[in-house]
Structure 1
Amino acid sequence: MRAVLLGPPGSGKGTQGQKLADQLRVPRIATGDIIRDHIARRTTFGLKIEERIAAGDFAPDEDIIHYVSLRLAEPDAAAGYVLDGFPRNLNQARLFDATGSEETPAIDVVISLEIDEASLIERTAGRLICPKCGTVYQTHLQPPKRAGRCDRDEEMLVRRPEDDPGTMPHRLDVYHMSTLPLTQYYAQQGKLRPVDASGSPADVFHRILFALKDR
């Protein structure tokens, strides 16, 4: 299965994407992880977009298409994948559809995580991430077993610059303007599966599996 997770910042795409990837035994491919890797390695691309990402904006479409396509062409994605954070807008979706090939076949299903904005702000205010493995935690809903440390590798957890509460209004504005129209785009293709993203991660994942039953 080739799946996409859509949803505003704080809706749980990282957590649910990893759960679904594990369930399907395919890789979770997150554009956020790709971007953070480039920023950490101080590549030309990373230096180019660092300030944009910290401010809550997106990377240029052509760059994202390029790096996502490279990742999808790797052997572990041949049997399927879960895309988290891509596509971000209609232009990316149309470009990706137009460049489909045997190496990067078309998307099968799009899961739209839907939740109210008050809950999103509360979630992102308590969100922490492991800089080593990328595991996402939420201090109220999904805290680490040991405060401030990743369950997987004991790395010190950090707050991403884009999760600063001051950036949330802008990030939500960008989401509503650029990403939300994708729900209609994929609904017209018969690929959209709306899922209530409120509640515990386990409850949300149960709803995702239920939404995928007809696949």
Structure 2
Amino acid sequence: MAGVDDARLHALVRRTALAAEARAIAEAPSTTPRWKRRRTMIPLGIAGVVALTGAALVLPLTQFGIGGMLVDADAIIPIKYTTDTGVDVSCRKAFYFGDPADRTQSDRQIAAFVADHDWTGIGQDMYEYAIAHPFVPGRDGGLQVDTQQARDEMSLSIAIDHHIAMAIPLHLRDERGELMPSAVTDCQGQLH
């Protein structure tokens, strides 16, 4: 019985190999360099447009993980601004308030406020705050990799968090006083 199965398996492998060899011979190799082929050019073109316009890639920010739990974002804040070099930037930052395992009434109230608040036009104010208050390693914290891009990303993130916190009325905050929401973003931190 084993010899019959081995023979069938051997025949199947041989037919597959011959079919693959025939297909390889039938398809003529392309003389166009790989980087000039349509399958390569379209994604490169899209990436180039995104890089030149400062547009953020559209990533789903509706859910993210906190402490091993998948949560729905309480709010996704649209951030739109124009840099000092004239580049229009559009990105988003999603927030979740509290600990998903032990969420307080205060966390839910703040989440409802942030979700219902009109954030239109706040992006330019956030950008200007980031420019006026740049992140300085050492004084403001540390970075794993200290590059200008990392500093710009941190400056914008701090500016966004500052403006969100300033918009939340004091009566909604509990004894903590300071907000420390969990967040994800597709903002690249482009400041110039």
- What TM-score comes out, normalization by structure 1 length? 0.26
- What TM-score comes out, normalization by structure 2 length? 0.28
Relative contact order higher in (CA < 8 Å, ≥ 6 apart):
1
Structure with the greater alpha carbon radius of gyration: 2
